[in-house]
Homo-oligomer: A and B are copies of this chain.
Amino acid sequence: MCELMGMSANVPTDVCFSFSGLMQRGGATGPHRDGWGIAFYEGQAVREFRDPDPSFDSPIAQLIRSFPIKSCTVISHIRQANVGDICLENTHPFGRELWGRNWTFAHNGQLPGVETFLLGAYTPVGSTDSEYAFCWLLEQVRQQFPEPPENAEELWLLLKNCADQLLTLGVCNLLISDAEYLYAFCATKLHFITRRAPFGLANLQDTELSIDFGSETTPNDIVSVVATQPLTTDEQWRALRSGDFLVLKQGEEVSLLR
With A43-B87, A88-B45, A89-B44 as given contacts, are A97 and B126 in contact (CB-CB < 8 Å)? no
A43 to B90, CA, bound (A): 11
Given A63-B67, A87-B45: A125 touches B102 (CB 8 Å cut-off): yes
With a CB–CB cut-off of 8 A, which chain B residues contact A62?
67
Known: A96-B97, A97-B96. A126 touches B47 (CB 8 A): no
Give the complex CA separation of A45 and B50 in angstroms.
10
- Cα(A125)–Cα(B121), bound, Å: 17
CA of A245 to CA of B41 in the docked complex: distance in angstroms? 35
Chain A positions 90 through 125: 1 when the CB is less than 8 Å from some CB of chain B, otherwise 0: 010000111111100000000000000000011111
A88:B43 contact, CB within 8 angstroms: yes
Q: Is A180 an interface residue (CB 8 A)?
A: no
Q: Is the CB of B123 within 8 A of A99?
A: yes
Q: Is A60 in the interface zone, CB < 8 Å from B?
A: yes
Residue of B nearest to A96 (CB): B97
Shortest Cβ distance from A42 into B: residue: B88
Bound state CA distance, A96 and B102, in angstroms? 10
Say whether A30 faces chain B, with CB atoms less than 8 Å apart: no
Give A122 Cβ to nearest chain B Cβ, in Å.
7
Which residues 44-91 of A sit at the B interface, judged by CB distance below 8 A? 44-45, 47-48, 50, 59-60, 62-63, 66-67, 87-89, 91
Inter-chain CA distance A122–B122, complex, in Å, is: 11
Min C-beta distance of A10 to chain B, whole Å: 19
Given contacts A44-B89, A45-B88, 19 further A-B contacts (CB under 8 A): A42-B88, A43-B87, A44-B126, A45-B50, A45-B89, A45-B125, A45-B126, A47-B88, A48-B48, A62-B67, A96-B97, A97-B122, A97-B123, A97-B125, A98-B123, A99-B123, A100-B124, A100-B125, A121-B121
